[in-house]
Structure 1
């Protein structure tokens, strides 16, 4: 960027540069690459005046990068199947369990009703 311009243009260019840095250089990179930038930037570079070079980042020790291949305790197991297919398979298994439960409940109800009616001696044979 060319900073040989009026004060208003200079401020606009600095704002553009700040937004460019904010979009492309997240906090992790700021904390991890601070020493590299400090060693390799030109002494008159405008990045040296930026807030991430002049101010200490709080809790920089606790900042680290998580890669997709790092497995954590809450990482889902990779199966190779798309997630929507896995969800549909789970719905189908739940549907099968509900059908089995419905059949079981119907049989249990019929048996219980028959036992109750037999205990009260209510049947078609009693009216014959």
Structure 2
């Protein structure tokens, strides 16, 4: 090989190494714990849909929307409206979580679906639960 070709190869290798290290550094800065409460200020309060001891979905109770997550037994759809939330539809045999009705975070117990291994609770409750 000629000296010019060797210098080009070395230059390409250096650029590739810089790109790999740069991506790793950038990824490290943007990685966040999915179980941690979002940093943005919510309109209402932060609420989490937790599946298998991990947050599947965070949502702002002040923003009307629907969220669908998949549990151990099937899908669950959560409706958020006027600062409150409830299970709108769920695929499970007993439908207890559906029957729990609307929650606004002031209740004693979060909405819980045992067959799907899902519960829906405020950020304060979730943070305490996940720290155990």
Q: Same fold (TM over 0.5)?
A: no
**Relative contact order, higher structure (CA 8 A, sep 6+):** 2
TM-score, normalised with respect to structure 2: 0.26
Which protein is richer in helix relative to its size? 1
With normalisation by structure 1, the TM-score equals 0.26
